[in-house]
Amino acid sequence: MGTGTNVERRTVLKAAGVSAVTLGLAATACGGNGGTSADGTVTIRYSWWGAEERAKKINQSIALFEKKYPKIKVKTDFQTYQSFWEKFQTQAAGGNPPDVFQNAVGFLRKYDRRGILLDLNSQVKAGNLSLDHFRAGVTKVGEVDGKQLGVPVGSNTMALVIDKKVFEKAGVDPATGWTWDDYFKALKTIHDKTKVPGDTGYFAIMYLYDLYLRQNGKAFFTEDGLGFDKSDLTEWWTDGYGRVKAGIVTDPKVVAQDQPKSSLSAGHGASEFTWDNFTVRYSAEGSSTYGLAPIPTMNGKDTGQYLASLMLSASAHTAHPKEAAQFIDFMVHDPAVGQIMGYDRGILASTEQYAAFKPTDTVSKEIAQYEDTTAKSGVLGTITPHPSGADTVEAAFLRIGGDLGQGKTKVTDAVKQFFTESEAAFQA
């Protein structure tokens, strides 16, 4: 979701971040939501999280927008993931969020409940924004209770990234339809033959656990809380902790020491569950050959997968809803923007941009092929609803799972703590 925040928080987005000054970008002012100059020029504010490369691409895209709309100027601000949401929380509390900002599914209900998000359906009706020409099902990610609170810029789905050389050395060939039993046997085989842990820590990844639950007729979230009970989580975390102790899963202490690099690209694990578009980071960080493998299943078919998305939202407090909508429309539909952004934020969501960008590198081609194959297989479902407080719950799942893996807490205590913190998050 692009939109996936637990993996982003642990890996890519925490690792990066330079100031807007470094890139020559205009810093976002804290006072006032944009303005209108004497000649009728409107200024809107746009904020996002990400790394330097994303910022450069977005800056290039904004230049194209301002050329097409000379009466709209865009002030920009970007941060690392954690810093972005800390700053946004302060801005939202003060009634001064950016006019347009990058968003993810875990934050929609939270900020809609606080009256921060603009229902973009009004701008669709006014002709300032189009929800046509998107890849099937993608726009649903931004819908909450009939309101369009975000428009996707890219889509992704959970995948298993593997170190191909280690898998080949161990004689393991992941195949479509393999089961969890097959996967865990593969992890042991890899460890026994190569002395490399088979996985970097699957049990602390909320979005992976969501897939596992969906395969078993449940889900991580309902619209107002958790969709599983303590016995479910006890089984999941007991299983994961047991594999850490056996050396089959990377010691979380090693994972922490490897940051901001992934333990997969550091050579301390042979596979890692993450969003498919994150695959590019492993080739950049590591010295091996990396690829995508299918999600394990319970029955050989149903993976529980769905399309997630990073998206653009607008502030309900903006003084310039028309201009904000025109900016979003340009950024999600313009083919030239698609060529610039590529798969930085996932597989391009609109058909115009998807058709305009032709990946040339091997990794991007494999990402596109993986998502296309997954879509054609008929396994993709609808994303699980995320209640208000989901972002806090996700952070707790990652943190407590990590503590468990390091032996800082027992399974029973970890489960109790997670449910206590989740309940508080939903009521906040």
| Half-sphere exposure for 122 (CA within 13 Å, toward CB) | 10
Is 10's pLDDT higher than 70? Answer: no
For residue 176, give both structure tokens: 């479509």
Instruction: Decide if 326 is inside a domain.
Output: yes
- By DSSP bridging, strand 100-103 and strand 42-49 are parallel
Please check the confidence at residue 225 and state whether its pLDDT lies above 60: yes
Q: Tell whether the model's pLDDT for residue 379 goes beyond 60.
A: yes
Q: Sorting pLDDT into bands at 50, 70 and 90, what band is 24?
A: very low
pLDDT at residue 232, as a whole number:
98
Q: Is 369 within a domain?
A: no
Shared domain for 190 and 251, answered yes or no, is: yes
Q: What is the pLDDT of residue 420?
A: 98
User: H or E element: which one contains 284?
Assistant: helix 279-285
Q: Does one domain contain both 324 and 252?
A: no
pLDDT at 211 over 90: yes
pLDDT at residue 385, as a whole number: 74
**Whether the predicted model's global pTM rises above the 0.75 cut:** yes
Are 10 and 138 part of one and the same domain?
A: yes
- The answer on 142 and 48 residing in a single domain is yes
Instruction: For the sheet with 271-275, list strands across it.
Output: 271-275, 158-163, 290-293
Whole-number average pLDDT of the chain: 89
Question: Inter-axis angle of helices 411-427 and 390-405, to 10 degrees?
Answer: 170
Short-list 386, 408, 387, CA closest to 399: 408
Pairing verdict, β 72-79 and 42-49: parallel
Q: Which residue has the higher pLDDT, 138 or 269?
A: 269
- Look at residue 16 in the predicted model and tell me its pLDDT: 32
| Mean of pLDDT values over 308-316 | 94
**Are residues 271 and 200 located together in one domain of the fold?**
yes
Q: Please give the average per-residue pLDDT across 228-254, as a whole number.
A: 96
User: How far apart are the C-alpha atoms of 75 and 27, rounded to whole Å?
Assistant: 7
Can you give the three-state secondary structure of 69-118, one letter per residue? CCCEEEEEEEECHHHHHHHHHHHHHCCCCCCEEEECHHHHHHHHHCCCEC
- Whether the per-residue pLDDT at 253 is higher than 70: the answer is yes
Does one domain contain both 336 and 276? no
Q: Residues 101-115: pLDDT tens digits?
A: 999 998 999 999 999
Displacement of CA 272 from its chain's centroid (Å):
15
Q: 260: cis peptide before it, omega within 30°?
A: yes
| pLDDT of res. 187 | 97
For the record, the structure tokens of 235 come out as 């089984």
Output the CA torsion 180→183→188→193 (10° steps).
170
Token digits of residue 103: 């968003």
Does the pLDDT value for residue 291 go beyond 70? yes
Query: What is the distance between the alpha carbons of residues 51 and 41, in angstroms, rounded to a whole number?
Result: 30
**Whole-number Å distance between alpha carbons of 396 and 417:** 9
| Residue listed under structure tokens 């800056």 | 59
161 and 292 Cβ atoms separated by less than 8 Å:
yes
Residue 23 has pLDDT above 80, yes or no: no
Phi, psi (deg, nearest 5) at residue 326: -65, -40
Asked if residue 313 has pLDDT above 90, the reply is yes
Burial class (CB in 10 A: 0-12, 13-18, 19+), 300: exposed
Query: Is the residue at 182 inside a domain?
Result: yes
Asked whether residue 14 carries a pLDDT value surpassing 50, the answer given is no
Picking from 14-23, 42-51, 57-66, 298-307, which range would have the lowest pLDDT averaged per residue? 14-23
Mean pLDDT of 266-278: 93
Asked, for residue 21, whether it belongs to a domain, the answer is yes
State how far the Cα of 6 lies from the Cα of 9, in Å rounded to an integer: 5
- Please answer whether residues 348 and 154 qualify as being in contact, where contact means their C-beta atoms are separated by less than 8 angstroms: yes
Q: Are 426 and 388 in contact (CB under 8 A)?
A: yes
In a domain, 362, yes or no: no
Domain count, the chain: 2
Residues 20, 86 within the same domain: yes
Structure tokens, 85: 């949401």
Q: Report if residue 368 sits inside a domain.
A: no
Residue 363 counted as domain residue: no
Per DSSP, the residues of 20-80 read TTTTTPPPPPSSSS-EE-TTS-EEEEEEEE--HHHHHHHHHHHHHHHHH-TTEEEEEEEE-
Specify whether 44 is located in the same domain as 172.
no
- Each residue of 319-340: pLDDT tens digit? 999 999 999 999 999 999 999 9
* Same domain? 136 vs 283: no
Q: Is 291 helix (H, G, I), strand (E, B) or coil?
A: strand
Which letter does DSSP use for residue 226 in this model? Answer: B
Task: Identify the bridge partners of residue 290 per DSSP, sorted by sequence position.
Answer: 163
Question: Would you place residue 18 in the very low, low, confident or very high pLDDT band (cuts 50, 70, 90)?
Answer: very low
Residue 340 sits in a domain of what CATH number?
3.40.190.10
- Those residues whose C-beta lies under 8 Å from the C-beta of residue 231, and which sit 6 or more positions away, are none
Better-predicted residue by pLDDT, 278 or 248: 248
Per the DSSP assignment, residues forming a β-bridge with 143 are 148
* 102 and 174 belong to one structural domain: no
Do 172 and 57 fall into the same domain? no
pLDDT at 257 over 60: yes
- Give 370's DSSP letter: H
* Domain region containing 323: 5-155+308-357
Q: What's the rounded mean pLDDT across residues 398-422?
A: 95
Confidence of residue 34 (pLDDT cuts 50, 70, 90): low
Residues 350 and 220 in one domain: no
Spatial contact of 119 and 271, defined as CB atoms under 8 Å apart? no
Cβ 417 vs Cβ 409: under 8 Å: yes
Residue in the block written with tokens 């992934």 = 262
pLDDT at 371: 86
Q: Is residue 412 included in any domain, yes or no?
A: yes
- Rounded Cα gap, residues 172 and 189, in angstroms: 8
Query: What's residue 91's pLDDT?
Result: 96
